[in-house]
Chains A and B, each alone.
Chain A
Amino acid sequence: MIIKVFLLAGLALASWWVLKGKPTGGRLALARISSLLIAAAWIVGVLFPDTVSWAAHAVGVREAPSLVLYVLVVVFTLSTIAQRLRVQDLEDKLARLTRAHALLELDVVENKDAAGV
């Protein structure tokens, strides 16, 4: 039961946090800290496999691999959302740049025509 609440509430909360606004320095730092914590947990899990079993039982999951799978699904989902938003942000910038370029290019052509170049 604990793991169900943790996974669903955690996923909803993190999705809201990822979606809610533009990237800032603080948000980037939190994302990087989360990544480092996950990497550290992974290293601990590899070096001391019993800790994964202990953590699984502590949150009500019968087998350690199931807990790993649950955590990976959450991480993958959040990573996908974050990457999608990042690509969308880049696409928005590309669109603004392309549209501004189109107008400026016309100005250049018209100025050249007016100057008889």
Chain B
Amino acid sequence: MESWQAVVVVPMYNEAAVVGDVVAGLREHFSHVVCVDDGSRDGSAAAARAAGGIVLTHRVNLGQGAALQTGFDYVLSRTSATHAVTFDADGQYRIEDALAMLSVATETGVDILLGSRNLGRTEGQPIARRVLMAAALRYSRRTTGLALTDTHNGLRVLNRRALAAMDLRHRGMAHASEIESRIGAASLTWQEHPVTMLYSDYSRSKGQSNLNAFNIVYDLTAARMRASA
């Protein structure tokens, strides 16, 4: 019997091809999987529901940050779970990593545990993406002041204190940087944990464009200018 009560939060957008298998796999280990359908136009919601997930539906597409925040709000307001696990819908992460991270988070009492592909390993990552992630990591380390080894990794474990500290304003992919920023701003304790990231043909074709990195930097910079004005 585990000492944690966890809800897995799976943001999804047009993931009907894979989300059923992902949720079914998660449901073998987690009794509570909530999928936030971010305005999908395919059968993602039906597939997730059929696999045993609870589905929250955004009627319009807002972005992954907004989907995660909806999931966090759900965990805090509708459950008594001790932890939330964020898990991508495209099958890039391994469930055993999520389970190991939950054990570590419970044993150590750390507020937020971040998955790190650089402490673990990556399979099938394109070279361009590897170069881009290295640059993103330098940017994150500089802007957050945290000695991170990876950034924008979608596998995380947050306790209720960390969930309450999150108020993600960036609805798009910049939310990952915002989560890291909140660690310092809210004085959350944090650690990293090695994980394996599996890039499949599906995730490579479905994943965000490398050019989106510019949008992330633009959004973060604009938000900083607005905050400091």
Listed in ascending order, the chain A residues whose CB lies under 8 Å from chain B are: 15-16, 19-20, 85, 91-92, 94-95, 98-99, 101-103, 105-106
Contact = CB atoms under 8 A, between A and B. Distances in A.
A103 B70 CA distance: 8
A93 to B, nearest CB: 12
A102 B171 contact: no
A59 B58 CA distance: 54
A16 to B, nearest CB: 5
Contacts of A95: 62, 66, 171
Interface stretch (B73-81, B119-127, B202-210): B73-81
Given A19-B225, A20-B229, A99 B69 contact: yes
B125 to A, nearest CB: 31
Given A19-B225, A20-B229, A95-B66, A103 B78 contact: yes
15 contacts: A19-B225, A19-B226, A19-B229, A20-B229, A91-B171, A92-B169, A95-B62, A95-B171, A99-B58, A99-B73, A103-B70, A103-B74, A103-B78, A105-B56, A106-B56
A90 to B, nearest CB: 12
Contact of A98 (B54, B55, B60, B225): B60
Interface in B44-65: 54-60, 62
B229 A98 contact: no
Contacts of B22: none
A105 B66 contact: no
B36 interface: yes
A47 to B, nearest CB: 38
Interface of B, secondary structure class, is mixed
Contacts of B229: 15-16, 19-20
Contacts of A85: 226
Nearest to A94: B60
Given A16-B229, A19-B225, A95-B171, A102 B60 contact: no
A106 B226 CA distance: 35
A47 B11 CA distance: 60
**The 4 nearest A-B residue pairs measured at CB:** A19-B229, A102-B56, A20-B229, A99-B70
Contacts of A103: 56, 70, 73-74, 77-78
Interface string B155-199: 000000000000001010000000000000000000000000000
A103 B78 CA distance: 9
A15 B171 CA distance: 24
Nearest to B226: A19
Contacts of A19: 225-226, 229
A102 B11 CA distance: 13
Nearest to A85: B226
Contacts of A101: 59
A62 to B, nearest CB: 34
Contact of B70 (A15, A16, A20, A102): A102
Given A16-B229, A19-B226, A95-B171, A105 B57 contact: yes
A105 B36 CA distance: 12
A88 to B, nearest CB: 9
A98 B59 contact: yes
Given A20-B229, A98-B59, A106-B74, 4 more contacts: A15-B229, A99-B58, A103-B77, A103-B78
